[in-house]
Amino acid sequence: MKKSRIELDGAVTYGPYSPGVTAGSMVWLSGQIAPDAGDFKAQVQATLNKIDALLASAGTSKHHATFVQVLLDDINDFASLNEVYSQWLEGVDIPPARAAFEAGALPANALVEIVVQAVKPE
Give 52-73 pLDDT, tens digit per residue: 999 999 999 999 999 999 999 9
pTM of the model: 0.94
Is residue 106 within 8 Å of residue 19, measured between CB atoms? no
Query: Where is pLDDT greater, at 88 or 9?
Result: 88
Tell me the pLDDT band of 97, cut-offs 50, 70 and 90. very high
The mean pLDDT value for 3-29 works out to: 89
- Find the domain containing 25 and state its range: 3-119
Query: Which secondary-structure segment (H or E) carries 79?
Result: helix 78-88
Question: Which residues have CB under 8 Å from 4's CB, separation 6+?
Answer: 21, 22, 23
The mean pLDDT value for 19-48 works out to: 97
What's the alpha-carbon Rg for the chain, to the nearest Å? 14
Residue 11 has pLDDT above 90, yes or no: no
pLDDT at 62: 98
Number of domains composing the chain:
1
Residue 29 has pLDDT above 90, yes or no: yes
The CATH number for 17's domain is: 3.30.1330.40
